[in-house]
Chains A and B, each alone.
Chain A
Amino acid sequence: MTDDKDVLRDVWFGRIPTCFTLYQDEITEREAEPYYLLLPRVSYLTLVTDKVKKHFQKAMRQEDVSEIWFEYEGTPLKWHYPIGLLFDLLASSSALPWNITVHFKSFPEKDLLHCPSKDAVEAHFMSCMKEADALKHKSQVINEMQKKDHKQLWMGLQNDRFDQFWAINRKLMEYPPEENGFRYIPFRIYQTTTERPFIQKLFRPVAADGQLHTLGDLLKEVCPSAVTAEDGEKKNQVMIHGIEPMLETPLQWLSEHLSYPDNFLHISIVPQSTD
C-alpha cells in the first residue's frame, strides 16, 4: 500500500518531456536545432529554461534578442503559472513531447507578465505561499517563520531539493489538533473556455456537521456547470498533476498531498479526452 508520503515525492518529481523550437520568424545567423528538456511540473518556465535561452541565443545576433517568451499553438504561456498546470490545461490531450515555440521579440504586453529576473519568480512564488497561508492559518504559520525559512522554501524549489523544501513546508501543512483541517482550502480552478483566468473562492474543508468536504463537493459549489452531466455523459476531466482524482477524495487530503509547492491546488477542467 503506497504511503501518503510517497505521493509527495511523486508530485514533486513529475516531469514533462518538452521540445522547444525557435519561432520561424526570428532572425538567426545559423541553424537553430530544437532543444529537448524534461520540465518539472511543479516549477515555473522562466526558472528552468536558462539552457533553452542559451541554446537559441547562440544562433542569433545579440541585437535581435530581447525578453524570451514561450507559446503553445498560438497561446502565449504564462510563466507565473506552474508548468504542470499549463500542460494539463492546454496540452494534456496531445501526444508527447510538448511542443513549445520560443520567441525573442514582439513580447505580448497585453497577455504576459514581464519576468525581468529570478527575483520576479521568487517574489511571485512567495506571494502565492503567503496567500495560501492567509487562507489556511490566517497567515500565522508563515509569519512566524524566519526569513531564512522563507529562503529555504524558495531555494528548495529553485534547486529541486525535495527534502530541503519539505523540511519547512511541512509546518504549513499542519493544523490545530482540535480542528479537522485548514481554515479554508487554497485552490484555483482553471478552464480555457472562460474569460476569467480562474475561479477562487472561500471554501472550508470540513462541513458544519464535521464531515470532510470532497473534491466533488467543491466543484458542485463553485463550478457546477463543469461537472454536472445533463445527459449522464461526462463532459470534462478534472485534472491535478496530470491525473483525475476521484471526486470522493477529501479536499483536505488533496490540499496536503497534491498542492503545488506554492501550497495551492491548481485544478484544470478540460474537455473529456476522446482516446
Chain B
Amino acid sequence: MEDEFFGEKSFQHYCAEFIKHSQQIGDGWEWKTAKDCSDGYMCKTQFQIKNGTTTSHRGTPASVHTCLPTEENLELTVDDSEVMESAAASQVIKYEYHVVYSCSYQVPVLYFRASFLDGRPLALKDIWEGVHECYKTRLLQGPWDTITQQEHPILGQPFFVLHPCKTNEFMTAVLKNPQKINRSPAGPEAAA
C-alpha cells in the first residue's frame, strides 16, 4: 500500500514546510489535526473590513488595499461620517481558508467560507461576485464547475470549494499575475 499513502504523506510534509515558512513571515497558517487524529488540514483566518484595511487573525495590520467586492455586495450607502462602532462591526467579513488533501484526486483542495462577525454567512452569489476580474469570465462560463458549496470532509459543515480540476488552472493564473492578485488579498484567489 506504499504508493497510495505516499501522496498524503507528501502533502503533510509540504504543509509542515509551508507552515514553518508562514510562521517566519507572520502569515497565519496553522495545522489542525482531525478529532480522530487520523489526518488534518492547514487553516488560516483573515478579516476584511469595509474601509479596505485587511488584518491577519493576529491583528497585525497589513498595508491598505481597496477591496473591490465589498461595497457592492454589502449595498452600503453609509457616509464615512456616519459610521458608528456597531455599524462597522457588521461590515467586517471573516474569511477562513482550509487546505485539505483529496485522496481521490491526489491534490490539495482549497475550502473556504466567509461570514460577518455576527455569524451570518456570505452566500455563494456574494462569493461569485467577489471573484477577481481576472477570473470572472471563466467563472461565468461554468460557475458550477469552479466554485461550489460542499460539505467539508473533516468538519462536515458547508464550505465553498475551488474544484480540484481547477487547482492547476488557477495556480497558473496566479503565478502569471502576482501584482493584480495582491490588490484584493482577502479573496480566495489570494489564498490559492
Given contacts A195-B35, A202-B103, contact A110 B157 (CB under 8 A): yes
* A:115-158 near B, CB below 8 Å: 116, 119-120, 123-124, 127, 131, 134-135
0/1 string, A99-122, CB within 8 A of B gives 1: 000000000011111101001100
Question: Do the beta carbons of A114 and B154 come within 8 Å of each other?
Answer: no
Question: Do the beta carbons of A123 and B148 come within 8 Å of each other?
Answer: yes
How many of chain B's residues have a CB under 8 angstroms from any CB in A?
A: 27
- Is residue A54 within 8 Å, beta carbon to beta carbon, of the partner chain? no
Bound complex: CA A124 to CA B124 (Å) = 15
List, in ascending order, chain A residues with CB within 8 A of B150's CB: 113, 124
How far is the CB of A37 from the nearest CB of chain B, in Å? Answer: 25
- Is residue A55 within 8 Å, beta carbon to beta carbon, of the partner chain? no
List, in ascending order, chain A residues with CB within 8 A of B5's CB: 202
- Is residue A201 within 8 Å, beta carbon to beta carbon, of the partner chain? yes
Bound complex: CA A51 to CA B121 (Å) = 30
Bound complex: CA A116 to CA B148 (Å) = 12
Bound complex: CA A114 to CA B158 (Å) = 9
Given contacts A114-B123, A131-B104, A134-B104, contact A196 B151 (CB under 8 A): no
Nearest-CB residue, chain A, relative to B8: A202
Other-chain residue from B104, B124, B144, B156 in contact with A197 (beta carbon distance below 8 A)? B156
Bound complex: CA A127 to CA B145 (Å) = 9
- Is residue A272 within 8 Å, beta carbon to beta carbon, of the partner chain? no
- Is residue B26 within 8 Å, beta carbon to beta carbon, of the partner chain? no
Nearest-CB residue, chain B, relative to A201: B103
List, in ascending order, chain A residues with CB within 8 A of B90's CB: none
How far is the CB of B30 from the nearest CB of chain A, in Å? Answer: 19
List, in ascending order, chain B residues with CB within 8 A of A198's CB: 153
Question: Do the beta carbons of A109 and B158 come within 8 Å of each other?
Answer: yes
Question: Do the beta carbons of B35 and A196 come within 8 Å of each other?
Answer: yes
List, in ascending order, chain B residues with CB within 8 A of A194's CB: 35-36
- Is residue B155 within 8 Å, beta carbon to beta carbon, of the partner chain? yes
Bound complex: CA A186 to CA B152 (Å) = 18
How far is the CB of A180 from the nearest CB of chain B, in Å? Answer: 17
Bound complex: CA A194 to CA B34 (Å) = 11
- Is residue B56 within 8 Å, beta carbon to beta carbon, of the partner chain? no
Question: Do the beta carbons of B144 and A120 come within 8 Å of each other?
Answer: yes
Bound complex: CA A114 to CA B34 (Å) = 25
Given contacts A123-B144, A194-B36, contact A80 B124 (CB under 8 A): no
> Most A CB atoms within 10 A — which of B5, B104, B153?
B104
15 residue pairs A–B, Cβ–Cβ below 8 Å = A110-B157, A110-B158, A112-B158, A113-B149, A114-B149, A119-B144, A123-B148, A135-B104, A194-B36, A196-B34, A196-B35, A196-B153, A196-B154, A197-B153, A200-B103
Report which A residues bind B (CB closer than 8 A): 78, 80, 109-114, 116, 119-120, 123-124, 127, 131, 134-135, 184, 186, 194-198, 200-202, 204
